[in-house]
Amino acid sequence: MIAVIDYKAGNLTSVVKALRYLGAETQVTQDPEVVRSAAKVVLPGVGHFQATTVLHELGITEAVRESVAKGTWFLGVCVGLQWLFEGSTEAPGIVGLGHFAGMCERFPALFKGAELKSPHVGWNSLENIRDDSRLLKDVKSGGFVYYTHSWRAPVVSATAAVTNYGGAFTSVVEHENVMGVQFHPEKSSAVGLQVLKNFVEL
């Protein structure tokens, strides 16, 4: 069973629909005990990083820590990826899970002397895909996925793919059983479905 965490942040319904389309048994939950007992956990999210305070209030942050420590597969989507880092300048007082080092920051207003539009919305390509990535199995560098975000995660040792917009940022992060995607796989056509399929089949 895949526990899909509901913290009232955006794209929950479309993610669940895509997982069920792939044949996954899902349970939408705000219950830490369901998170602890699930085979896999998905944290979707659209909107402000501030929304992740609910995860602390519900006791889900600690449940995720315990689940991850015992090897449960975890996938964060969009804000769910950003939450895996130490925090975000979007909500400076809110602490992320801290599984990966670094802070998420807003896209720069200027890049190479030209104005950079923010949010970054639309299709962009995955580059530098790590050969050992299980989440990106059968996904080729250059494949296009759909984005809508104004904050981005830094490139770190666990980065499994980057996307270039105002410089490179982490589009996919993956270390052992913990994974995250900045794009919306449920809106990313065949590439997005392949990513979700890979996660379901882990």
Residue in 78, 90, 99, 174 annotated catalytic: 78
Does 104 participate in catalysis according to the annotation? no
**Catalytic: which of 99, 120, 149, 184?**
184
What are the tokens at 100?
Answer: 């990966």
Q: How far apart are the first and last CA of the chain?
A: 12
What DSSP letter does each residue of 79-140 carry, written as one string? HHHHTTSSEETTSTT-B---SS-SEEEEPPSEETTEE--SSEEEEEE-BS--TT-STTTT--
Cα distances from 88 to residues 46, 91, 107, 135, 151, in angstroms, run 14, 6, 12, 24, 8
The radius of gyration computed from the CA coordinates of the chain, to the nearest angstrom, equals 16
184 is catalytic: yes
Helix (H, G, I), strand (E, B) or coil at 145: strand
> Looking at 104, 176, 186, 201, which residue is catalytic?
186
The answer to whether residue 186 is catalytic is yes
Catalytically active residues, by annotation: 78, 184, 186
